[in-house]
Copies of this chain bind each other. A is one copy, B any other.
Amino acid sequence: MGTTQLDTVPEPKYWHLKTVLTDALDSEFAVGEILPNERELAARFGVARATLRQALEQLELEGRLQRRRGVGTTVAPPRMGVAVGERAHSWEDADDAAWQPVDSTETAPPAEIARLLEIQPGALVHTVRRSRVGHGQPIAAELLYVPPASVPGLSALDTPPGAARARAILRELRHVELGGREQSVELGSARADQAKALDRLPGAPVLVVTTRYTAAGHTIAVAVATYRADTCRLTFGDGAGVELLAG
């Protein structure tokens, strides 16, 4: 008696812990500040380290914390708004610094992509790798699949695979008149190569944006972009006043 007896439906410890930490982050910590290490936090709250970590994991998933091995846990800034539903997402703004071409190869795309491209499974396509940066941080890694038929002006032999070829392909694509675009967003986890590009550990949560570009009723390219889910909020605008949600 005398103890609070409200746990008729006992809340998991890590869940309660998360609430407490959220409040603390709102009131007592500034962005960028370093939290006490996990062992000390666990001791302070009287729980096992694994339990404390379960709470931290959720907070990182929600973009409130950033954890780096060997360094520590810091308070994350609010997520940045990233436009993905605009022409700006396309290759038409190759001049601005949002997307950085990395390299280009000729490969057979995954079966799922081949289906979207309406080509034979196993057929070769240009595969352009691009990376996107924001606030000095890597934001997204993209693979752009372009069937040779979509860039007839490109003479593959002119430029060797690599960044130069990537730029050439994007340049050619700018000559194609876009008909439409459809996109989808789903949750995924970063593969090893993506994780490295995004400066995260493998398995980190990512938002996978698949874009299908069409012209004259045909699919001319498919892009699969993986955005860091912890730091990004994807914005889709009508074109009028995107500032508010873009934060």
Contact = CB atoms under 8 A, between A and B. Distances in A.
Contacts of A237: 182-183
Contacts of A188: 62
B235 A183 contact: yes
A150 interface: no
How extensive is the interface on chain A, given as a class? Answer: 35 or more
A123 interface: no
B63 A187 contact: yes
Interface string A162-179: 000000000000000001
A29 interface: no
Question: Quick one: copies of this chain in the complex?
Answer: 2
A240 to B, nearest CB: 4
Given A189-B61, A203-B15, A205-B61, A81 B235 contact: no
B236 A182 contact: yes
A139 B241 CA distance: 29
- Going nearest first, the 3 A-B pairs with the smallest beta carbon separation are A180-B238, A186-B233, A187-B229
Contacts of A63: 186-187
Contact of A62 (B58, B62, B187, B202): B187
Interface of A: 15, 18, 58, 61-63, 79, 81, 85, 116, 179-189, 202-203, 205, 207, 210, 212, 214, 217, 219, 229-230, 232-242, 244-246
B244 A116 contact: yes
Given A187-B62, A189-B62, A236 B236 contact: yes
A205 B202 contact: no
Given A179-B240, A185-B185, A240-B179, A203 B235 contact: no
Given A214-B241, A244-B116, A207 B179 contact: no
Contacts of A182: 235-238, 240-242, 244-245
A18 B192 CA distance: 13
A154 to B, nearest CB: 25
A185 B207 contact: yes
Nearest to A237: B182
Interface centre among A79, A219, A236, A246 (most CB of B within 10 A): A236
A209 B186 CA distance: 12
A172 B34 CA distance: 50
